[in-house]
């Protein structure tokens, strides 16, 4: 069994296709949609935790790519620039998954990317622009 959090980017030409439906029905994958911004005839994206058997998972991801969906590992979508971060903690107040939190002993803000849902709230509130999001080209 494999489980990954992925950012799926849809072009405006394929937004209306039953892509998620096919992943579930044809590839027997389990999808947990963490966040989505899907709009008619516009570039859209979805952050999802996808799980399934190894062989069907790989075939399902290939199907997405063949359909024109850009598949981005979540760890490549949200990053922190440690040279800009002053550990003010603003981001920790809005992080719904607690991927960002203050270490009690060091008072530093810790970023655990594997917990990140790529919601983008940290990017919006960071006054130092230390958090960056790369969902679209």
Query: Do 64 and 84 belong together in one domain?
Result: no
Instruction: Please give the pLDDT value at position 135.
Output: 57
Question: How many domains does the chain contain in total?
Answer: 2
| Residue 97 near residue 105, CB atoms below 8 Å | no
Contacts 24+ apart (CB under 8 A), 73-77: 73/4, 73/5, 73/6, 73/7, 74/4, 74/5, 74/6, 74/7, 74/47, 74/113, 74/116, 74/117, 74/118, 75/113, 75/114, 75/116, 76/134, 77/7, 77/47, 77/118, 77/133, 77/134, 77/135
Confidence of residue 66 (pLDDT cuts 50, 70, 90): very high
Query: Do 18 and 71 belong together in one domain?
Result: yes
DSSP-based three-state secondary structure for 48? strand
133: phi then psi, degrees, rounded to nearest 5: -125, 135
Query: Do 70 and 109 belong together in one domain?
Result: no
pLDDT at 92 over 90: yes
Q: Which of 28, 45, 75 corresponds to the end of one domain?
A: 75
Query: Do 71 and 84 belong together in one domain?
Result: no
Query: Do 89 and 70 belong together in one domain?
Result: no
| Residue 42 near residue 78, CB atoms below 8 Å | no
Give the CATH number of the domain where residue 69 resides: 3.30.70.260
DSSP letter string, 106-125: T-PEEE-GGG-----HHHHH
Query: Do 38 and 64 belong together in one domain?
Result: yes
Domain interval for residue 30 = 2-75
| Residue 41 near residue 22, CB atoms below 8 Å | no
On average, the pLDDT of the chain sits at 89
Q: Which of 39, 57, 75 corresponds to the end of one domain?
A: 75
Q: Which of 29, 45, 75 corresponds to the end of one domain?
A: 75
Instruction: Please give the pLDDT value at position 39.
Output: 83
């Amino acid at each position: 069994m494999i489980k990954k959090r992925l950012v799926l980017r849809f072009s405006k030409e394929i937004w209306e296709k039953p892509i998620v439906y096919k992943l579930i029905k044809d590839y027997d994958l389990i999808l947990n949609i963490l966040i989505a911004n899907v709009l008619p005839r516009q570039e859209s994206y979805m952050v999802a935790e996808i799980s399934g058997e190894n062989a069907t998972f790989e075939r399902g991801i290939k199907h997405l790519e063949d359909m024109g969906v850009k598949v981005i590992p979540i760890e490549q979508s949200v990053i922190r620039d440690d040279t800009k971060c002053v550990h003010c903690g603003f981001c920790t107040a809005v992080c719904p998954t607690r991927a960002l939190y203050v270490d009690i002993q060091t008072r530093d803000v810790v970023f655990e990317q594997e917990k990140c849902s790529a919601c983008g709230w940290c990017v919006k509130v960071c006054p130092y622009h230390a958090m960056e999001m790369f969902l679209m080209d």
